[in-house]
Amino acid sequence: MMQTHQRLWIILPCFIALLAVTITCAPAGSLLFLCLCSMALLWKLKIKNRSISSLLAQYVAVKAVGWLGSRQRNRLESDTRDIHRVQEETLLQRLQKHSDTVYGKLYQFRSIKDTETFQQHHPVTDYNHYEKFVERVAKGEQNVLISEKPLILAMTSGTSGSSRMLLSTKDTNTEFFLQGVTICLDAMRQAFPATDCLQKTLKLFYSPIFRQSEAGVPIGPNSSTPASSKHMLHLYTTPAPVYQVVNESDALYLHLLFGLKDRNLGMLESNFCSTVFYAFKALQERWKDLVVDVEVGTINSGLSLKADVRRALEKLMKPDPDRAAELTAQFEEGFERIALRIWPQLHLVLTVDSGSNQIYGEMLRRHYCKDIPFYSPFYAATEGLIGVNLWPQQESRQYLLCPRSMFCEFIPEEDLDSEQPKTLLMEQLQEGHNYELLVTNASGLFRYRIGDVVKVVGFHNQCPKVEFQYRRGQMLSVRGEKVSESLFLGALKKAVTQWPGARLIDYSCVESGILGSESGIAQPHYLVFVELNGVRNLSEEQRYKLDHCLQEDSDIYRSFRMKGSIGPMRVQLVREGTFQDLKNRMMAFSSASSNNFKIQRVIRSREMADFLLQRAFS
C-alpha cells in the first residue's frame, strides 16, 4: 500500500502537467484519450475524495507559488550583498509614501534624503507615541499616520502585557506573502523534496471574531486566518463550512475529523507549535468519538453547529469502516509517534517552534510527532515580517532579516534602559551580541521598539542572521536581576531532567509582589507554576533543583540569592489541562485570537495569578 501511494505522488504531478499542456494545445481526440487515461489511472490508484479538477487546481497553485518563490529568493540573495543601499531604499520609500500625512508633515518626511537625517529628525518611539494617532484613524480620520485606509486595526497578541492596536495595510500583507511565504515555501521544497506533491495539508487555524471601530474599520488579529487565506483553502483537508464554526473546541474536532479521513495527508501546519500540541492532546482525549464519525459517516451530535453548517458537512461524510478500523488499531497501541502511524505519508510539520513555542516543539518531536521533520519558517509580529528561515534542516532556528520588509535599527543590550539610545544599522552589528529590534514599517510605525531582543548568530553575505532571545516585557526582575525567558527556560529544562519520570507540559512564572502576602515568604521571589506528566508530586529537594539550576546559569541571580535579597523559588504543580484553561481565560479578557495567541511566561495580572494558585495541588 505505502509503495503504491509513494509512486502516486511522484507520477501525478508529471501527469497533471502533461494534462494541462494537452488541454491548451492538443486536438480534441488526443484530449479525450488523455482524459480517459487519467480517469483510469486515478481509479486504479484509488485516490479517495480527489477530483481531477481539485488536483489540477492544486498543481497550478503550487507551481505558481514555486515560480514566485524562486524569483523572490534570487532577489533576496542579491539584496543581501548590498544591505545598506537596500535598507535605505526601503526607508525612503516608506517616508515618501506617507510624507503628506499629518504625521509625515510633523516630522518633515519630505526633507529626509538619507538614513542619518532620519535618525536625527525622528525619535526612538514606543506604543504610547502612536496611541492618539491610532485613535484618530479608528474614528475615521484619513491621512493621519498612513496615506491609505487600513485594511484592519490589528490587535497584538498581548504576550508582554495588554494588547495594542496597530494599523495593517495592503502593503504589509503583500510583503508578507512575497518576501515571506513564497521564499519559505521555496526553501521548504528544496530541503524536503517530498513536500512538492499533491497531497493535502491539515492546517489548524480558526476564524476570529472581528469588531468594528467607530468608522467601520475591522478590529482583530492580522495573523493568518481562513478569510485571509481563502485562495489557499482548497489545499487543506478542512472543508469551508468548518470555518463558520466559532467555538474553537468544536472547530478543532472538525479539523481533526476531516484530517483523519485522509490517509494520504502530506503536511501538518499551524501558525504556532502550541496549536499543534494541543490538537494532539485533544485527539488523544476524543479519538473514540472521532473514529465513530469516520466509521459511520456522521458528524458528532454533541457539536454545537448551525443547522446549515451541519447539513453541509454531513453531505461530505461517507461511511469508511476500513479507515476507522485502521485508526482504532493505531490509537489502541498508544500515542507515541502517532502522527506517522495514522498518516504514513506525512512529510513535515510546518509551524513556528521558536521563542515561547520552543517547549511545544520539543514535546511533539519527542512524542506525538516523533521522526517527522519540523520547519519553523518565519520570524514575524503584528508589526510585519522580520525574518525568514532559509535553513529548514538546521536544529537551531535562525532567521535571515528581510531587508525590504522593514527598515531595521538595533539597540545594544547594555543600552536597553535608555529612552533615546544610540542605534546601529544592519551592517554595524557584531556576531554573538544581543540587540533590541526597532522597525520602520509599511503601516505607520517609525523607529518603533517592538520589544524583541535577538542575538546575531552570523551573516549571509552582509545580512544578519538572528535567533530570538526574549521579550523585554517577559523578564523576571524582583531586584533588577532581569532573568530572560530563554535563560529561565534553560534552567527549567535542566531541572526537569533531575525529576525522575517527569515531562514538562507547560509553565508560567509570577513575581511574588503580584500576590502580596499570599506569596508566602517576605523576601521577593519567583512562584513557578508547572504542568508535568509522569509525576504527581515533588520533594522539597527536587523543587530546589530549579533554583539551583538558575543560580548556575545566572551569576546575577546567584549573587542576589547568596545575599538573601531574593528568596528561594517556590515551585507549584498544577492540574492537567491548567494551561489550556489559562489560555481560554486570557483570550476571554483580551482581543487576541487563537491564531496569534502565545502564553505569557511571566504573569503580571493578579487575576491570572490567582487562577493558577487555585489550580495548584502540590
Q: How confident is the model at residue 462, as a pLDDT?
A: 97
Go through 55-67 and write b for each residue having 16 or more CB atoms within 10 A of its CB, e for each that does not. bbebbeebeebee
**161 neighbors 608 (Cβ within 8 angstroms):** no
Residue whose entry in the numeric block shows the C-alpha cell 519553523 = 376
Tell me how far CA of residue 598 lies from CA of 168, 273, 352, 464, 583, in angstroms.
20, 10, 11, 26, 8
Torsion angle, CA of 41/44/49/54, rounded to 10 degrees?
A: 0
pLDDT value of residue 597: 82
Closest CA to 167 of 110, 120, 224, 127: 127
Residue whose entry in the numeric block shows the C-alpha cell 519540523 = 374
| Per-residue buried b or exposed e for 602-616, using 16+ beta carbons within 10 Å of the residue's own CB | bbbbeebbebbbebb
Grouping H, G, I as helix, E, B as strand and the rest as coil, residue 422 is coil
83-171+378-473 CATH? 3.40.50.12780
CA 599 to chain centroid, in Å, comes to 12
> In the prediction, which pLDDT does 45 show?
40
Q: Are 54 and 237 in contact (CB under 8 A)?
A: no
Q: Give SS3 for 411.
A: strand
- Measured at the alpha carbon of residue 105, what is the angle toward residues 104 and 109, in degrees to the nearest 5? 55
Burial 9-31, CB ≥16 within 10 A → b, else e: beebbebbeebeebeeeeeeeee
Copy the grid coordinates of residue 356.
515561547
Any idea what DSSP says for residue 318? -
Would you state the pLDDT for residue 54? 76
CA–CA distance from 105 to each of 87, 129, 438, 445 (Å)?
A: 22, 16, 22, 15
What's the pLDDT score for residue 48? Answer: 56
4-58 pLDDT, tens digit per residue, is 344 444 444 444 444 444 444 445 555 555 554 554 444 434 455 667 777 787 7
Give 435's strand partners: 412, 454
How much is the pLDDT for 20? Answer: 46
> Grid coordinates representing 517?
502576602
Instruction: Specify the pLDDT at position 17.
Output: 47
What digits encode the pLDDT tens for the residues 275-323? 999 999 999 999 999 999 999 999 999 999 999 999 999 999 999 999 9
d(CA 547, CA 557): 9
User: Would you state the cell numbers that stand for residue 314, as one nine-digit string?
Assistant: 454531513
The pLDDT assigned to 197 comes to 84
Question: Residue 419 burial (CB < 10 Å; 0-12/13-18/19+)?
Answer: exposed
Residues of the chain with pLDDT under 70: 1-50, 157-162, 519, 590-593
Residues sharing a CB contact under 8 Å with residue 33, sequence separation 6 or more, in sequence order: none
Closest by CA position to 377, among listed 407, 395, 361, 398: 398
Dist. CA 326–CA 290, nearest whole Å? 13
Between strands 348-352 and 374-375, the pairing is parallel
Cα 414 to Cα 434: distance, rounded to the nearest angstrom:
9
Structural domain spans, the chain = 83-171+378-473, 201-217+233-372, 475-614
Region at 158 (left for phi over 0; alpha for psi -120 to 50; beta for the rest): left
The beta strand positions in 81-183, using DSSP E, are 152-155, 165-168
Q: What is the predicted pLDDT for the residue at 121?
A: 93
Instruction: Count Cβ atoms within 10 A of the Cβ of residue 472 and give its class: 0-12 exposed, 13-18 middle, 19 or more buried.
Output: middle
- Report pLDDT for 63: 84
Does an H or E element contain 33, and which? helix 28-44
Phi, psi of 320 (to 5 degrees): -140, 75
DSSP lists the bridge partners of residue 526 as: 511
Cβ atoms of 444 and 470 closer than 8 Å = no
Cα separation, 582 vs 601, in Å, equals 12
What distance in Å separates the CA atoms of residue 430 and residue 425, rounded to the nearest whole number? 11
Q: Are 284 and 533 in contact (CB under 8 A)?
A: no
Q: What is the DSSP string of 103-128?
A: HHHHTTGGG--SHHHHHHHS--B-HH
